[in-house]
Amino acid sequence: MANSNLLKKLMNEEQDPGVVEAVHEKFAGILTSDEEVLYIAVQKKPVVNVSPDSVLLTNRRMVICRPKLLGGFEFEDYLWRDIGDVHLKEGLIGATLTITTVAAKQLTIDYLPKAQARRAYSISQEMEEKVIEERRRRDLEDKRAAAGGVVLQQAPGLTGSAKEDPLQVLTKLKQLLDAGLITQTEYDSKKTEVLSRM
C-alpha cells in the first residue's frame, strides 16, 4: 500500500485514486536508486473506461502505463535524455500529450483531463530544460577534447610538455578559437606566450 501523503501529492488534479495507487504500487518495484515519482496523470475517456492508460513521471524518466487484459500493467519507459519533445494539445473533452523520442518514435496519450495534462506537460518541460543543459555541457566537453585538450590556465607551459611543437600548440589554439571555446583575447595572449618561447 502506497504512502497516503505521497498519493495525495500525486493526485492533486482529481485522478482516479484506484488507478494511481495501482500504477504506483506496480511501478514502485522497478524504481531505481534515488528515483522519485513526481506525478501520475490518468486518462479519462468520455465513455466508461475500465482500464485507462496513464503517464507516470519521475525525476529520471517518463513512463507510459497501459493496463493488460488480465490485470497488471505494461510499462513503456523513456529516459528524459531520450525524449526529444513533448507536445500538449487541448480539445473540448480533454487533452492529448504527444511524446516524440530522439529516435523519432511518437507516443500519444489522449483523453487526459486538462489540469493533469498541463501538469504533466509542465514537468516534462522542466526535465527537457535540464536535459538540454546537460547536452550543452557534454557537447562543450566533446569540443574541448576534440580540440586536443589544450589547458589554457596551466602555469609552466601551455600543454605541460616543454618539447611540444609550437606550431601544433598554435594550431590547437586556433581550433579552440574557431570552435568558440576561447575568446580572441585569450587566443592572442597565448599566441604571444608561445611565440615568445620560440
d(CA 44, CA 50): 10
d(CA 71, CA 23): 11
Q: pLDDT digits over 43-81, tens only?
A: 888 776 667 888 999 999 999 988 887 777 788 999 999
pLDDT at 155 over 50: no
Assign 104 to helix, strand or coil: coil
Which CATH class for the 4-143 domain? mainly beta
Q: Which residue has the cell 526535465?
A: 127
pLDDT of residue 99: 95
pLDDT of residue 90: 94
Farthest CA pair distance, the chain: 82
| pTM, entire model | 0.65
The residues of the chain that CATH labels 2.30.29.30 are 4-143
What are the CA-CA distances from residue 49 to residues 85, 111, 169 (Å)?
Answer: 28, 11, 68
Rounded to the nearest integer, the mean pLDDT of the chain is 82
Q: What is the DSSP letter of 10?
A: H
pLDDT of residue 1: 46
Count other Cβ atoms within 10 Å, centred on residue 65.
24
Q: pLDDT digits over 113-139, tens only?
A: 999 999 999 999 999 999 888 888 888
pLDDT at 9 over 90: no
